[in-house]
Amino acid sequence: MDSQTAERSAQLPQLAEPRNPGMELDLDWVAAVQANTSAIERRCATLPGRRSVKKDHQAAWLLKAISLIDLTTLSGDDTQGRVRRLCAKARQPVNAGLLRELGMDGLTTGAICVYHDMIETAVEALKGTGIPVAAVSTGFPAGLSPFHLRVAEIEESVKAGAEEIDIVISRRHVLTGNWQALYDEMKAFRQACSDAHVKAILATGELGSLRNVARASLVCMMAGADFIKTSTGKESVNATLPVSLVMIRAIRDYYDRTGYRVGYKPAGGISKAKDALVYLSLIKDELGNRWLQPDLFRFGASSLLNDIERQLEHHVTGAYSAGYRHSMG
């Protein structure tokens, strides 16, 4: 993809894609899933060096990355003022002068992600922009509240205006191999979401093995997940390239067998522009250009946008700006 193509791609609207309806739980398929850890780690170790982009091409890919960010604030001290500032950043993610220099007027982030209490504030701040509001749910981040309350929380967030719901699975179902329980839980969450799209957070740092990650990914897709997501951002280990490769290949396998595309969202620990470029190249290599659109790929991030803006300013001016010059992201 050349720089002009990538720039145009960053401005494309979300494409119409048949929603994953799910399927019956296929335990034979789940049991057959394996993960060759050493081969996966070798593949990921070589990726940054083999997929380097520079100059105009790098700027174009960074602009693409901005359009894929779920700009996130999930802190206990969140206020309405902070959420409004974050929404303003989503509407104008990069200095307007820089965007004019780059020919990218109208660029926005992919979504805003907040706690339930901040949904109405975010919806009001984003009115008329087409930027969706995502809400974390189901007892985020641990997912250990009573089941009926987790379902009710989803329903309340949808009622408040959230167009996307990021749910957390019960890790114990994965660790004990209770795939039927995981499937039933995910299916109930999907049903509670109604027309809102559901992202299944696997909390991969707590699942014990890459094989468990692969199997959990597949079960959640069978139950109707629209996206699978690595982490809550609250675990000690969040998004990593090996985990991403496993989840991406599960998505590819599911698409090959069912014809339905499921999205992918790495979250937690992705704060540097160079890391975003590696993830985008991995998606392009493994899934192809169709997955480089906001309806099928998102970064769960807060500080990533600031570093991307600094890199774009360097591209235009030849100088790096101080981090404090950039508004919150």
Reply yes or no on whether 166 is catalytic: yes
Q: Are 260 and 18 in contact (CB under 8 A)?
A: yes
Q: Residue 228 belongs to what H/E stretch?
A: strand 227-229
Q: What is the largest CA-CA distance in the chain?
A: 57
The number of residues in the chain equals 329
54 catalytically annotated:
no
Angle, helix 241-258 to helix 37-50, in steps of 10 degrees: 100
Q: Of 64, 89, 199, 229, which residue is the catalytic one?
A: 229
How many CA atoms lie less than 13 Å away from 4 in the CB half-sphere? Answer: 0
Residue 96, C-beta contacts closer than 8 angstroms, at least 6 positions apart: 105
Residue type, 123: V
Asked if 60 contacts 259 with a C-beta cutoff of 8 angstroms, the reply is no
Cβ-based neighbour number of residue 20 at 10 Å: 24
Neighbours of 291 (CB within 10 A): 21
Provide the 10 A C-beta neighbour count for residue 161.
17
- Structure token pair of residue 148: 């009926």
229 catalytic per annotation: yes
Backbone angles phi, psi at 45, to 5 degrees: -65, -30
**Number of other CB atoms surrounding residue 176 within 10 Å:** 11
Q: Is 54 exposed, middle or buried (0-12, 13-18, 19+ CB in 10 A)?
A: exposed
CB 236 within 8 A of CB 209: no
Where do we find the tokens 């996966």?
Answer: 40
Catalytic residue among 64, 70, 265, 307: 265
Q: Catalytic residue numbers?
A: 166, 229, 265
